Amino acid sequence: MTPVKVLLTILSLFLTLGVMALAYPEDGIHIGDTTLRYPKLSQVFEKAETTTDSAGNEVKVEQVDPEEAIRQMMEETKAKQFAAFSDSLKYYEDFFREGRTRFELPNDDLTWFDRFFQSLQNAQKDSSTIHVIHYGDSQLEEDRISSTIREDLQTEFGGNGPGLLPAVMHIPSQSTSQWNNGNMQRYIIFGPKEEQATHNRYGPLAQVGELNGSAVVGIKKRENKKDMFPHVGGYSTIKVLAGKKGNLKLRLTYEHMVSDSVGVNADGSTKYKLKNKKETAEAPAYEEFTKLRVYTWKLPDTTSNIKLYMSGRTEIYGISVDGAYGVAVDNVAMRGSSGTIFHKIDSQLLAESYKAMNAKLIIMEYGGNLVPGMTPKGLDYNKNLITRQIKAVQRANPDADILFIGPAHMAKQINGRWQTYPGLGITIKMLREVALENGLAYWDMHRVMGGEGSMIKWVKKSPPLGFTDHVHFTRRGAAYMGDLFCSSLHMYYDYYLFRGRHNLNDSKLKDIRKYSDKKKSDADTTNVIDLNAEKAKSTKTGGGL
């Protein structure tokens, strides 16, 4: 029971007793030879100055003030609650302060993730889907790291599907098989000059597919013997993000399992067999923005195999393949990129795309490609450049939280030995400062790995967690890194639930910390007193400690 409830209970009790005292007859209630009496209020609160002991002597009695008694009871109740909460609070805050996999938060604000966690919970309640967009360099290729984060979040909060995919997939994904045929040309914002568009309308995936005629795109869950990605199938919501200009016709087919009768069992019951059935979806709904048109299918059945037929002349910015509700994680890998491309994307198109996808968390995992050329002289230039990218994303989506993941440990051969890249330390320091100064959370992948020399150790593990280039993770290493990320995120989510369960606002948390500090101080004082007593005892007896 909370202190407030205790106070209200006590006050209501006093009120009831007071009403009884006023209503009760002054001469009592007579039942036969028995008289029931009830004290007056003046007698209840009358201060007894003296009393007489067994020897007949008058003794002064110190009367307890009722308000003081209530206050003491409330303090005792609060102390019991604080004692129960203080150990849990210490467990969380010790991790947030010293844990190797912890996040670093602006102004050490432990409520930084609250908005994102609330969005995750709302998605379950409202049967909506929120997107987490994971940008990065070649460490993310093949859906590495992102796929682990996706599976973890979808297990916890619901959701299916691989998220937002490009119209033309050049580097295969380990979780989803995708192919395309027809008149579709892919342009990317980061890469060779001949592969870049003549405009800046790239959309949220930093690439665009230009349709000139007809094309078909197939998307299917990649079959895996161990079924490492159980949630990457089961699509039921399909979206196409296309340019508003031009014309586009769409048709979607999908496969799903149906039960077909194939005869009669020995007991006379109908015999059924499961088989794949191909369906054509009804025409999609669409939503228009200033520069974007979004086509949406809500399928009556789930599927892990779709084909999208397109015809016309327009731009395709992405195809989103999701479940009915929950969370989606979009993998956006750009080999060789340092993430310095966001200010080059059409800002209005980017903002409309984020809104259409309901993007609530944006992860920017960059820095590794800055390291080889980083020197103290280049710090200010790179700091300003990264700040510009963060500002561009914040302007496009002020409703999303942004989390920056710094580079892992990287080594190269120097004088015949694998040694840390000289520019790694100052790059990490710079990125951490930029992130925190601009209100982003920061996750130090270098520290998470184990710090100095950790990639060298990861390469030597059996099976190895790092490639022999001493820069990139193996698939196993990437999955392990994703697991570490999710484990840390769960600590913050548990802390969020802990505060919500016990209605612990900032004021209460401060009171609990004060209680814990006082308890520790009292314990330290007691220990000092005990130690001094032992010393004194030892001195008297001539012994030693």
For the chain, percent of residues with pLDDT exceeding 90: 69
From the list 454, 493, 500, the residue with the least C-alpha distance to 477 is: 454
Give the mean model confidence (pLDDT) for residues 376-401: 97
329-364 burial, b at 16+ Cβ within 10 Å, e below that, comes to bbbbbbbebbbbbbeebbeebbbbbbbbbebbbbbb
Cα distances (Å, whole numbers) of residue 76 to 72, 249, 288: 6, 71, 61
From the list 504, 523, 524, 491, the residue with the least C-alpha distance to 85 is: 504
Cα distances (Å, whole numbers) of residue 135 to 53, 320, 396, 425: 83, 16, 15, 22
From the list 312, 311, 337, 321, the residue with the least C-alpha distance to 202 is: 337
Separation between Cα atoms, residue 293 and residue 241, nearest integer Å: 6
pLDDT > 80? residue 95: yes
For residue range 201-245, list pLDDT tens digits in order. 999 999 999 999 999 999 999 987 678 899 999 999 999 999 999
pLDDT > 70? residue 305: yes
pLDDT at position 35: 64
Separation between Cα atoms, residue 442 and residue 437, nearest integer Å: 11
> Of the segments 72-81, 267-276, 381-390, 529-538, which one has the largest average pLDDT value?
381-390
Separation between Cα atoms, residue 530 and residue 525, nearest integer Å: 9
397-417 burial, b at 16+ Cβ within 10 Å, e below that, comes to beebbbbbbbbbbbbeeeeee
Give the mean model confidence (pLDDT) for residues 415-422: 95
pLDDT at position 262: 67
pLDDT > 60? residue 543: no
Question: Cα dihedral angle (360, 365, 367, 369), rounded to 10 degrees?
Answer: -130
For residue range 40-74, list pLDDT tens digits in order. 555 555 554 565 666 667 666 555 566 665 566 55
Give the mean model confidence (pLDDT) for residues 316-323: 98
pLDDT at position 264: 74
In eight-state DSSP terms, residue 473 is: B
C-alpha radius of gyration, the chain, whole number: 34
For residue range 123-181, list pLDDT tens digits in order. 988 989 999 999 999 999 999 999 999 999 999 999 999 999 999 999 999 999 999 99
- The whole-model pTM stands at 0.81
Residues 6+ away with beta carbon under 8 Å from 4: none
3-state secondary structure 149-164: HHHHHHHHHCCCCCEE
pLDDT at position 489: 98
Give the mean model confidence (pLDDT) for residues 407-425: 96
In eight-state DSSP terms, residue 381 is: H
pLDDT > 60? residue 542: no
Residue 156 CB: number of other CB atoms within 10 A? 16
pLDDT at position 510: 78
Pick the range with the lowest mean pLDDT from 100-114, 317-331, 427-441, 498-512: 498-512
Annotate 299-328 with DSSP letters as a single string: EEEEESEEEEEEEEEEEEEEEEEE-SSEEE
pLDDT > 50? residue 451: yes
In eight-state DSSP terms, residue 409 is: -
Q: Which two tokens stand for residue 22?
A: 């006023």
pLDDT > 50? residue 545: no
Give the mean model confidence (pLDDT) for residues 522-526: 57
Q: In which residue are the tokens 């990287």 written?
A: 410
pLDDT > 50? residue 496: yes
pLDDT at position 181: 97
Cα distances (Å, whole numbers) of residue 339 to 269, 293, 306, 352, 472: 62, 26, 32, 20, 17
Of 2 and 419, the one with more pLDDT = 419
The residue type found at 290 is T
pLDDT at position 284: 98
pLDDT > 50? residue 412: yes
Is the torsion defined by CA of 351, 356, 359, 363 positive or negative? negative
